[in-house]
A and B are shown apart, each in its own frame.
Chain A
Amino acid sequence: MIDLLLDQARRSPAAAFLETPDRSLTYAAAAAEARRLGVALRRRNLGRVALHCHDSPELVLLLAGCAAAGCEPCVVDRGTPPAETAALLHRLGLGTVVTDADGSFSAADVLRLGDVVAEARKLPEPVDEIAVAPRLLLLTTGTTGPPKAAVYTWASLAAQVRQRTALAGTRWLLAYHLNHFAGLQVLLHVVANAATLVIPRSGRVADALAAIVARRVEHVSGTPTFWRFLLAELGTRDAAALPLRQITLGGEAVPQDLLQSLHRTFPAARISQVFATTEAGSCFSVRDLEAGLPAELVERPAADGVELRVVDGVLQVRSRHGMLGYAGEAEQDPAAWRSTGDVVARRGDRYVFLGRTTDTINVGGAKVHPAAVEEVVQRVPGVIAVRCQGRPNPVTGQIVAIDVLPAEPSGTAALETRIRSACEALPPPARPRLIRFVESIDTANGKLMRRTP
């Protein structure tokens, strides 16, 4: 990270690196500030440090400063309340937190972001003294238990990023938070290619859309849920006002209808599906506008250090660029296969994603994958977004329940009839037995949050 930043600052000092609605920062200015932050952090002799900050230029520079100082940053979800964050820090052994919040973090040594930045700015231009093989921690989403921290070297993350001359000067949106693997991947793509990272005012889709238009963003990577909401937010407005050249989807199963909708709306944009996990890193990318992945990707020998296989219907991966291991645990064998937790099925020459092993709904012994239900419901005219999940039931153990965000709050009775009619194409256990119309659907880092209602 810091090496890439310093390199770009030498090559393209005046190029724009970070832009927000209120300010912009060149590579030269960012590199100078990151180096000072590195000195300030090194003076404090920090080991692992939690970064509890909103997505901002300061957070990006703090990450680079940590890499320079050789301390191991772990960006934690800024939306998590301080008390909950404190428990997480304690569990992960993170004794110091840098925060832009006012709250306390009990046992953690709290450094205020403003103080750290101010201290660094008082330092003279530092001589480069960059740590060797700096590391960082990436939190897992914790869908099957408390989040764990995956340990990476910056070098292994950077190795997953492609450098292309044509990407220099391109403009990318930060649509993922920086506490997630995908957010860091976008950041590294930007730095590696001397591109510009546009940070929207907030994580709201409306702000993302405003940033795309105002800052002429060409590259946007987001979850299918993000793109679904962006299309809804776009509504009848002229899509040509969005200069998108590259649309990337990942983080969730990508439905076919969404690929088609995006292609229709942005015909000039290249559309890619990427698959990555916090533990294994980036695995593959496909651009053929077909949902799922070509079976040949699963059956081929290792390519770019990544191998895939399917065992009992679940995708497994072995990656040369994966994490070293979980913090507090022994380093993992890089030759070991890891379950991705994604349930897949062979359909002709492709594997399609059915959902997560942890999301599977058991209806009287029949396994139902929420993604299959959502794909059917999502195609019903009048549905903006849908979330499918299991609901405890005394007769069948679970039933399928869906939350539907309608395009029009009125007229949901007719919409419910259309949804039920569409769902007759599903096997009986997979048909929703409870349909609720909601005003919003919770997301976390752009992904649907599945909770038992």
Chain B
Amino acid sequence: MSVEARVVEVVRSLLARYARTDPVTPQSRLYADGLGLDSLGAAELSTMLEMTFGRDPYSAGLIPRGVDEIIRFYETTAGTR
């Protein structure tokens, strides 16, 4: 599975926990202007990404605004698994 597909799947899984079925694409925005994640949602997303990839962009000091930025983080940094 590609990095893009895995990231999209993580975000979908997060939304599914709250019975949401919003479409998720690399262009999806994460916060109020898109999927509506608040700080707790972002915290949960960072944990899910860490559990999936071994590291996450938030812990690297980034605040990704969209799914595409998360994908880019994993595509351009070493250490994914």
Contacts and interface: CB of A to CB of B under 8 A. Distances in A.
Partners in one complex: yes
A429 B40 contact: yes
A394 B59 CA distance: 5
Given A364-B39, A429-B40, A433-B40, A393 B17 contact: no
Interface string B31-49: 0000000011011101100
Contacts of A394: 43, 46, 56, 58-59, 61
The range of chain A's interface size is 10 to 19
Contacts of A399: 40, 43-44, 47
Nearest to B14: A433
Interface in A384-399: 391, 393-396, 399
| Most chain B beta-carbon neighbours within 10 Å: one of A363, A393, A395, A420 | A395
A93 interface: no
Contacts of A391: 47
Interface string B44-81: 10110001000010110100000000000000000000
Contacts of B47: 391, 393, 399, 433-434
Interface residues of B, number: 13
B17 A395 contact: no
Contacts of B44: 399, 433-434
A428 interface: yes
A429 B44 CA distance: 11
A241 B46 CA distance: 50
Interface string B5-24: 00000000000010000000
A212 B55 CA distance: 49
Contact of A363 (B40, B42, B56, B59): B40
Contacts of B61: 394
A249 B58 CA distance: 43
Nearest to B58: A394
A10 B74 CA distance: 77
A395 B40 CA distance: 8
Nearest to B61: A394
A431 B59 CA distance: 21
Interface in A8-42: none
Contacts of B17: 420
Contacts of A393: 43, 46-47, 58
Given A391-B47, A420-B17, A433-B47, A396 B59 contact: no
Contact of A428 (B40, B42, B58): B40
Nearest to B63: A395
Given A395-B43, A395-B46, 20 more contacts: A364-B39, A364-B43, A391-B47, A393-B47, A394-B43, A394-B46, A394-B56, A394-B58, A394-B59, A395-B39, A396-B40, A396-B43, A399-B40, A399-B43, A399-B44, A399-B47, A420-B17, A431-B40, A433-B47, A434-B44
28 contacts: A363-B43, A364-B39, A364-B43, A393-B43, A393-B47, A394-B46, A394-B58, A394-B59, A395-B42, A395-B43, A395-B46, A395-B58, A396-B39, A396-B40, A399-B40, A399-B43, A399-B44, A399-B47, A420-B17, A428-B40, A429-B40, A431-B40, A433-B40, A433-B43, A433-B44, A434-B44, A434-B47, A434-B51
